Structure 1
Amino acid sequence: MERPVHPFDLWSQETLRDFLPLYARMRREAPIARVLSPNQRAPLWVVSRYKDAVELLRDGRFTKDRYKLSEADRHRYFRVGEIGQLDKHMLNADPPAHTRLRALVAKAFTARQVEDLRPRITAIAQRLLEELPPEGSVDLLDAFAFPLPITVIAELLGVPVEDQDRFRAWTLTLLSPPAGGNLEPLRRTAMQFQQYLQDFLARRRADPRDDLTSALLAAEEQGDRLSPVELMSMVFLLIVAGHETTVNLIGNGVWALLHHPEQLERLRASPTLIDSAVEEILRYCGPVRHSTSRFALQDTEFRGQLIPAGEMIMAALLSANHDAEQFDAPERFDIAREPNRHIALGSGGHFCLGAPLARLEAVIALPLLLERLPRLRFAVEPSTLRWRSGLLIHGLERLPVAF
């Protein structure tokens, strides 16, 4: 018997502008809700309460590996190879494959290794701010929030920084729902990105450098730890995730501070609050709206709901981080909130590998930005700002600011 779907519209611009009322209703009425994706017209389970989300993110009964699904189930969620060979990375793997893939790059993202990047991140941020005019207006995403993390991850990987605009255009296409269900732009972009990476990796094999890509190539050559397709997918993932999370962490952070001028002035007066301010930005308006997808391989009971075999389930991270059972006055933006055990960057074995880097970039970028632009303000009516569609990324399309 076909199970019913709930009429929650997670995709409307109204919801994207202000997700709190809908998520509050979901937590109250249907904390594990079966909805219908408007793109694939396929069922999707959304877990909206904090405790349930944490349990789901740690539940090994659900698979991240789409290739474990039947061909029919795989087809209804992933239409005929949208992104070619770019999906064989650790986000789409279960242990032991996930453990093996993650271990190959984990050393580059330890707290100590990331801290060593502080001087370079600071220098990049300062250069970008110095390039701004003394007064005027810019799209802060274009001028600052994007070029900072893409430069950092490009230098770490050894990818040409001058190709950053290509990376951004490709990423925006690949992470956006297909317009009108048209998958052709998605496929075309994936093939362009794939060809670029194949050419780049061929150059690196011939001319190794002191960078993370060369280190991954060396690991590949030591045995069967990383296949050519896995290597390409890994570099793809690091480029995309290595900038996308931080772009929206910085952008959403500025948006939240400008929306809450008393908290902005509090941070200006007490710069030592920057670490807790970044954690509150992550909780209040984090850069990831929902977790990546998981699937039931067989009928699976989860928190009293039967998830049918082959169906997708994900955690609504923004909803979980506004759950009153976990957070006192969750609707309040408080840069000194304590405790703050949010799950903005996931939980369990798939916890965001780049979390230390994203945090450090935001901790460096925001104070420098506020110091350089003391009269920072919205350049347009905030209610006219548009948020990106899709279930994964929570970020603005543009952020025009004046100073």
Structure 2
Amino acid sequence: MASPEFSRDPYPLLAALRKQGPVTRIPTGNGRTTWVVTGWEAARAALADARLSKDTTRFFADRPSTRNLAPAVSRTMLATDPPDHGRLRKLAMTAFTPAAVARLTPRIQEIAGELAEALATGLAAHGTADLMEEFAVPLPIAVISELLGVPEKDRAAVRRWSNTLFAADADDVVDRASHELSAYMTELIAARRRDPGEDVLSGLIAARDEGDRLTEPELVSLAVLLVVAGHETTTHLIGNGMLALLRDDALRARLRADLDLLPAAVEEFLRYDAPLTVATFRYATEPLELGGARIGAGDVVLVSPGAANRDPARFPAPDAVRLDRGRSTGHLSFGFGPHHCLGAPLARLEGRIAFEVLLTRFPGLRCAQEGGEQGESGDGALVWRRTRLMRGLARLPVTTTEPHAHRDASVGGP
């Protein structure tokens, strides 16, 4: 599932798997039994099933491995079960409540506006620009970095380490990046402990130092998780959503004419081209039945939100972008159950602001060379990231018919 073809378009393979059944056994060659969940109903059930553990430490305890991932990466909150998961989640979620996120609106609008002006300058000077590099990547990075207190000079390195963690690279390359990011976060925590601020990281340090509810390894791990998960999904929500918009003139015009449709558009983009093709690791702690399949104890279960979100049994015309589905349709891009993404409110807000800024500031925005999509490089080629879990563009070249238009456009309120 990490081939260039799958990275460019995973949906034919995922649909073929789903036709075999909502839960399909796949060959892995490592001696383990692995199942992929592609049906919506089975995926939703699996995400909430306590018998499917995320405790990777326990799973690999008696399985020799040559991997050398930093503990701060291999033992994050995502790789824990209750009660530890609930304790860690409760500490982290205070930064992502609806009220806390709403207070970030003016700053996110400001950052998005600054990036849009820089994008306009680049388009005016060169005729084309990379929407990922100039807007979709730096917006979420800036927001989560400000929340955690990551200095601007360090953000490029943090982004590079994060990208490598998800990349389909050699194990030693990924392992090395995990240690570099872990070491950086350890140093940043030490700096914040010496000089606390108003950022989330300082708050988590206080929770550990005052209440002793976080061990030092847990603190480093939580910081790593927040900085990585805090931007990766949102980056690809923006990139994948903008690609869908750039391919649909009528949809762009409709949204520009009625910005109140943007929240529905964000939900539909999340469903239509999910930033997470395959969710993180789970395994069965006891025999169970899921989607008609008999899962054995110890079997690995991989849930595919990308496949579930296009299940025709749940979503009519699943391969089309439709704004009339409503939230009740229940896409699984943020998961479901106890591990539902706690950063979902922030991602939705950033996505809405990003689309509003780009639609109003650049009415003439277009893909620079749609025909180059199948290439791996070239000035006009779309380039998809090759990752183990994520679905997103590494490069989205754009141009515009009105490079100087709407320079005074402003972003509306929440």
Normalising by structure 2, we get a TM-score of 0.89
2:170 equivalent to 1:173: no
Mean CA deviation greater in 147-156 or 334-343 = 334-343
Indicate the residue corresponding to 1:300 in structure 2.
288
1:250 aligns with 2:238: yes
Specify the SS of the correspondent of 1:345. Answer: coil
Q: Where does the alignment leave 5 or more consecutive residues of structure 1 unmatched?
A: 1-9
Q: How far apart, CA to CA, are the structure 2 residues paired with 1:22 and 1:289?
A: 12
1:361 paired residue among 350, 355, 359: 350
Take 1:400 and 1:335, find their aligned partners in 2: how far apart are those partners?
Answer: 26
Match of 1:343 in 2: 332
Distance 2:362 2:204 in 1: 40
After the TM superposition, which residues 183-202 of structure 1 pair with which residues of structure 2 at under 5 Å, given as runs? Answer: 183-202=171-190
Determine if contact 1:83/1:186 at 8 Å carries over to the other structure. Answer: no
- Separation (CA, whole Å) in 1 of partners of 2:79 and 2:145: 23
Deviations 1:105-124 (A, max 9, x none): 11110111101100000000
Kept in 2: contact 1:260–1:333 (CA 8 A): no
In the alignment, is the contact (CA less than 8 A) between 2:314 and 2:329 conserved in 1? no
1:156 aligns with 2:143: no
In structure 1, C-alpha distance between the alignment counterparts of 2:9 and 2:76, rounded to whole Å: 33
Answer yes or no: is the 8 Å Cα contact 1:145–1:248 preserved in 2: yes
| Aligned-residue offset at 1:290 | 1.4
Moved more, 386-395 or 156-165: 386-395
Instruction: For 2:37 and 2:73, locate their aligned partners in 1 and report how far apart those are by CA, in whole Å.
Output: 27
The root-mean-square deviation of aligned C-alpha atoms, in Å, is 1.8
Partner of 2:410: none
* Equivalent-residue separation in structure 2 for 1:312 and 1:389 (angstroms): 22
Partner of 1:373: 362
After TM superposition, where is structure 1 displaced by more than 4 Å over at least 4 residues in a row? 40-43
Give the fraction of aligned pairs with identical amino acids, expressed as a percent. 42
Instruction: Tell me the CA shift for residue 43 of structure 1.
Output: 4.3
Shift of the alpha carbon at 1:72? 4.0
Quote the offset at 1:308 in angstroms.
2.9
Name the CA distance, whole Å, in 1 between partners of 2:254 and 2:42: 34
Alignment pair present for 1:389 and 2:386 = yes
Measure how far apart 1:37 and its partner are.
Answer: 4.4
Q: Contact 1:82 / 1:187 at 8 angstroms: preserved in 2?
A: yes
Which residue is 1:45 aligned to? 35
Q: Which amino acid aligns with 2:347?
A: A
SS in 2 for 1:24: helix
Equivalent pair of 1:52/1:303 in contact (CA under 8 Å): yes
SS of alignment partner, residue 56 of structure 1: helix
1:224 maps to what in 2?
212
Q: Shift of the alpha carbon at 1:14?
A: 2.4
Q: 2:31, 2:152 → 1: CA distance?
A: 39
Query: Are 1:87 and 2:84 matched, yes or no?
Result: no
> Structure 2 stretches of 5 or more lacking a match?
375-381, 401-414
Letter in structure 2 aligned against 1:172: N
Partners of 2:239 and 2:396 within 8 A in 1? yes
Moved more, 18-27 or 270-279: 18-27
Q: Is the 8 A contact 2:96 2:346 kept in 1?
A: yes
Aligned counterparts of 2:391 and 2:325: Cα–Cα separation in 1: 21
Q: Residues 222 and 377 (structure 1 numbering): CA distance in 2 closer, same or farther, change over 3 Å?
A: same
Q: Report SS of the residue matched to 2:187.
A: helix
Corresponding residue for residue 4 of structure 1? none
- Give the corresponding residue for 1:3: none
Aligned partners of 2:31 and 2:236: how far apart in 1?
Answer: 28
Where does residue 314 of structure 2 map in the other structure?
Answer: 326
CA distance in 2, matches of 1:371, 1:343: 29
